[in-house]
């Protein structure tokens, strides 16, 4: 089959979750490509229920990192000594490493009213449900995030997609200036990798994740 | 900047949500690429909380389509005559067109216990929350779905990512044989497009979706 971009799968294979970054800034032309890739993702009813806050200001990143570390320490202190405190220390880095990247994408979504569900509920009462919450807006945003991540990888940029920082979600919302209508889904640092990544974490065999009918 | 796959952004730009498919089957080597692309997506703690049911059996697709149409008719009947029934008829096709594709990917995820939240709650009670539910598993699955969709686009295949069929989520789960631990997040038809797509639905200006700090 003819490929639009020969080597596309090499981009997918090159993507790794990177947690250590050089201080070098992300070039402007790369940022433009990342944003184009995100904005062209499909979304539920083409509502594009997403916002991307791109943070490069070192002082803002430090405030974000400090908020996450403070919350981490509060959670750690809430756990009785000896119970998993060592494990928590091991995981500490996963919560706040994002702040060391030269660019952090704070990816946000906004839930929209489910109009069909509302109409049906108003007419027939809750007995006739449409479907349980399927979070189409969150799904749409995640599609856009992956588009952005692969566009970054294509340009030799390192990324990761992290939810750990959201232990301090309310604080982060305030620092980046989000109104209450928006939720942060993920925090994605972007930059040039410091050093080569280790071995890829093992993937499940396809037999475990795929079935055919 | 040097690209791993020159033309990567052309894949992103070529992706459109397609709802009419030729009957031609999706080649096996394409399916292999789609699944590799999905399986290499990042996931929360590398848990890979996803399953993909690939449906090609026409009889199964017809059962799925029939279940969605039946549910659609039930919802439509629950709404008093005159109130939005015309609009609902307009939208009917969006719920069940998936069954006309030669391949339908039923993308599923499984929510995992939030261990940190459990430890903290057990130690300190609900007063110390970790974070509201951020659905990391659903996000992980959606990242994998976008990787699959772009891999398909790269090979000239048409896709769409749809949640409409989930009005019949329980019925679909039973038809494709999912256990209760798994949820369907989206139903993605894949095939060769019948005809060229129309104009791309308008995207928001970047100024509406991006801010810099």
A90 touching chain B per CB within 8 A:
no
Which residues in chain B touch residue A202, judged by CB atoms under 8 angstroms apart? 46
CB A181 within 8 A of CB A49: no
Crossing angle between the packed helical segments B58-78 and A115-124, to the nearest 10 degrees: 50
- Read off the pLDDT band of B115 (50, 70, 90): confident
For residues B148-171, b (16+ Cβ closer than 10 Å) or e, as one string? bbbbbbbbebbbbbbbbbbbbbeb
Of A66, A111, A114, A72, nearest to A91 by C-alpha is: A72
Instruction: Indicate whether B191 pLDDT > 70.
Output: yes
- Is the CB of A53 less than 8 angstroms away from the CB of B211? yes
- Nearest-CB residue to B80 (from A40, A75, A123): A123
Q: Which domains does chain B have, with CATH numbers?
A: 8-194 (3.40.109.10)
pLDDT band, very low/low/confident/very high, at B87 (cuts 50, 70, 90)? confident
Task: Among B2, B55, B151, select the one facing A8 at the smallest CB separation.
Answer: B151
| Mean pLDDT to the nearest integer, B32-58 | 97
Nearest C-alpha of chain A: how many angstroms from B114?
A: 11
Interface contact flag, A130 B167, Cβ < 8 Å? yes
Q: Which of residues 162-191 of B touch A (CB under 8 A)?
A: 163, 166-167, 169, 176-177, 185-186
Smallest CA–CA distance from A74 into chain B, residue: B128
pTM: 0.94
Nearest CB to B1; choose among A27, A54, A206: A27
Least reliable range by pLDDT among A18-22, B102-106, B121-125, B150-154: B121-125
Q: Return the number of other C-beta atoms located less than 10 Å from residue B201's C-beta.
A: 12
Across A74-78, B127-131, B139-143, the highest mean pLDDT is recorded for B139-143
- Out of B13, B57, B163, the one facing A44 most closely (by C-beta) is B163
pLDDT of residue A127: 56
Helix, coil or strand: residue A127: coil
DSSP for B173-189, written as a single string = HHHHT--TT-EEEEEEE
Disruptive mutation site among B139, B175, B204 for chain A (greatest number of A CBs within 10 Å): B139
DSSP E strand boundaries for A154-212: 158-159, 183-191, 210-212
Which regions of chain A are under pLDDT 50?
none
Q: What is the pLDDT of residue A126?
A: 58
Residue A118's pLDDT is what?
Answer: 72
Locus of tokens 């402007």: A28
Integer angstrom CA distances of residue A162 from A153, A187, B77, B158? 16, 5, 44, 30
For B96-116, what is the mean pLDDT? 91
Please give the share of chain B, as a percent, with pLDDT higher than 70. 93
pLDDT digits (tens, 9 = 90+) for B167-179: 999 999 999 999 9
DSSP annotation string for chain B: ---SSTTHHHHHHH--B---B-SPPPPHHHHHHHHHHHHTS--GGG---EEEEEE--HHHHHHHHHHHHHHHHHHHHHSPTTSSHHHHHHHHHHHHGGGGSSEEEEEEE-----HHHHHHHHHH-TTS---S---HHHHHHHHHHHHHHHHHHHTT-EE--B-GGGGGHHHHHHHHT--TT-EEEEEEEEE-BSS---SPPPPPPHHHHEEE-
ipTM surpassing 0.90: yes
User: Is B150 within 8 Å of chain A by CB?
Assistant: yes
Paired tokens of A96: 């706040």
What's the pLDDT band for B92 if we cut at 50, 70, 90? confident
Query: Terminus-to-terminus CA distance in chain A, angstroms?
Result: 24
Q: Can you give the pLDDT at residue A174?
A: 97
Tell whether the model's pLDDT for residue B124 goes beyond 80: no
| Average pLDDT over every residue of B81-109 | 86
Long-range contacts of A74-78 (CB under 8 A, 24+ apart): A74/B128, A75/A167, A75/B116, A75/B120, A75/B128, A75/B130, A78/B120, A78/B123, A78/B124, A78/B128
Q: How far is A69 from chain B (nearest CA, A)?
A: 13
Q: Do B156 and A4 lie within an 8 Å CB cutoff?
A: yes
């Amino acid at each position: 089959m003819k490929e639009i971009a020969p080597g596309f799968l090499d981009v997918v294979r090159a993507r790794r979750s990177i947690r250590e970054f050089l201080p070098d800034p992300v070039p402007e032309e790369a940022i433009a490509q990342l944003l184009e890739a995100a904005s062209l993702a499909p979304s539920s009813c083409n509502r594009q229920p997403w916002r991307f806050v791109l943070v490069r200001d070192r002082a803002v990143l430090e405030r974000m990192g400090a908020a996450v570390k403070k919350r981490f320490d509060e959670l750690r202190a809430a756990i009785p000594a000896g119970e998993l405190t060592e494990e928590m220390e091991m995981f500490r880095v996963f919560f706040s490493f994002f702040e060391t990247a030269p660019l952090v994408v704070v990816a946000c979504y906004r839930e929209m009213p489910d109009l069909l569900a509302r109409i049906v509920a108003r007419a027939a009462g809750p007995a006739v449900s449409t479907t349980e919450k399927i979070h189409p807006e969150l799904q749409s945003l995640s599609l856009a995030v992956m588009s952005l991540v692969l566009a970054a990888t294509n340009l030799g940029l390192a990324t990761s997609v992290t939810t750990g920082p959201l232990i301090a979600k309310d604080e982060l919302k305030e620092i980046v200036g989000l109104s209450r209508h928006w939720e942060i889904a993920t925090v994605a640092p972007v930059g040039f990798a410091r050093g080569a990544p280790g071995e890829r974490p093992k993937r499940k065999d396809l037999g475990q994740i795929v079935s055919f009918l």
